[in-house]
Amino acid sequence: MKRKIQSKPIGIFDSGVGGLTVLNEVVKHLPNENIIYFGDTARVPYGSKSVETIKKFAIQDSKFLISMKVKMIVVACNTVSSNAMNILHESFDIPFVDVLLPNAMYASQITRKKRIGVIGTAATIESGAYSKIINKFNKTHKVFSLATPLLVPLAEEGLIDNKATNIILEDYLSNLKEYDIDTLILGCTHYPLFEKRIKEIVGKDIQVVNSARQTARTVKSMLEDMGILNLENKKGDVRFYLSDIPRNFRKIAQRFLKQNTTGKVLKINIENF
């Protein structure tokens, strides 16, 4: 029985392509695992939509992955992780890993000043999820949050090393200056694309935490603890499912998928789930 569960794939979903930064790290940490990635590219972005709609979409995304017989679901989207984890846990009997908890805990541990900044989509920031989770375990930590919604379209258009993007980044980050933080959480899976420039702007005294690495570590240790790691000695299979094949999908995917992760890309109708 256990043998069978072990070889089942890990499901990863995101509103679109941002979660590919999480997929990268999961493949790096767990090269033997089979993975099914779902990106809701027909309805992307989630970050500007209402909580009710985000919950509905998150349930449909999970139902699709469960129909694919996954052994675990990684919610590789900060917007869903901030707004819909309760309803997902209530609705389904499958282990979930979200991107919020691992990063909130990690940032809580590495801050010396106990002052943490978070940037993310409007939905992530307005949920207050990062400060709630950090303060649950560390009552004296201060969390300063800032919505930076334009970074998603800028990343998808490939305006990474760009004068206008620089101005927008500097404008956004200048709002955090007065808070004297020493740790900054990149609370959106798109933001690692700007990590280098963000580090330059905030300077060496602020540690930048991105969603992907800690999440992958959590996936690995949960699979170990549950005894359902895939121990087969061969490279895992990665399959991509999207609700739309956007016109520039290959170009965008290349930007996010640093490693040589290839796999079939199939389209599904998410509204049927």
Note if 193 is an active site residue.
no
Separation CA 71–CA 96 (nearest Å): 9
Question: Catalytic pick from 12, 22, 75, 77?
Answer: 77
Instruction: Mark the segment that binds a second copy (CB under 8 A) among 7-15, 98-106, 159-167, 211-219.
Output: 159-167
Helix axes 211-226, 100-110, angle to 10 degrees: 110
Shortest CA distance to 94 belongs to which of 205, 9, 197, 215? 9
Q: How many residues does the chain have?
A: 273
Close Cβ partners of 120 (under 8 Å, ≥ 6 residues apart): 47, 78, 79, 82, 130, 145, 147, 148, 187, 188
Q: Nearest distance from residue 53's CB to a second copy, in Å?
A: 4
CB 81 within 8 A of CB 75: yes
- Candidates 14, 33, 98, 156; binder of a second copy (CB under 8 A) is 156
d(CA 70, CA 99): 18
Interacting residue with a second copy among 68, 94, 168, 229 (CB under 8 A): 168
| Cα 17 to Cα 8: distance, rounded to the nearest angstrom | 23
Q: Give yes or no: 188 in active site.
A: yes
CB 205 within 8 A of CB 7: no
Instruction: Please select the residue that binds a second copy; options are 53, 174, 254, 262, rule is CB under 8 A.
Output: 53
Stretch that binds a second copy, among 66-74, 95-103, 163-171, 183-191 (CB under 8 A): 163-171
Candidates 246, 253, 255, 257: give the one binding a second copy (CB under 8 A).
Answer: 246
For the bound state, the minimum distance from the C-beta of residue 52 to a second copy, rounded and expressed in Å, comes to 8
Residue 247 engages a second copy in binding (rule: CB under 8 A): yes
Catalytic residue among 23, 30, 133, 188: 188
What phi and psi, each to the nearest 5 degrees, are found at residue 221? -70, -30
* Residue 149 CB, nearest approach to a second copy (Å): 6
Answer yes or no whether residue 190 interacts with a second copy by CB under 8 A.
Answer: no
Residue nearer to a second copy on the CB measure, 46 or 106: 46
Could you say which of 70, 97, 107, 154 contacts a second copy (CB under 8 A)?
154
126 binds a second copy (CB under 8 A): yes
Region of 28-36, 167-175, 176-184, 218-226 interacting with a second copy (CB under 8 A): 167-175
206-245 binders of a second copy (CB under 8 A): 243-245
Strands (E), the chain: 10-14, 35-39, 72-75, 96-98, 115-120, 142-147, 183-186, 207-210, 238-242, 265-267
**Positive or negative torsion for Cα 34, 40, 41, 44:** negative
Q: Which residues, numbered 89-108, are part of the site for a second copy (CB under 8 A)?
A: none
What is the contact surface with a second copy in residues (CB under 8 A)? Answer: 41-43, 48-50, 52-53, 122-123, 126, 149-150, 152-154, 156-157, 159, 163-165, 167-168, 171, 243-248, 271
Active site residues: 77, 188
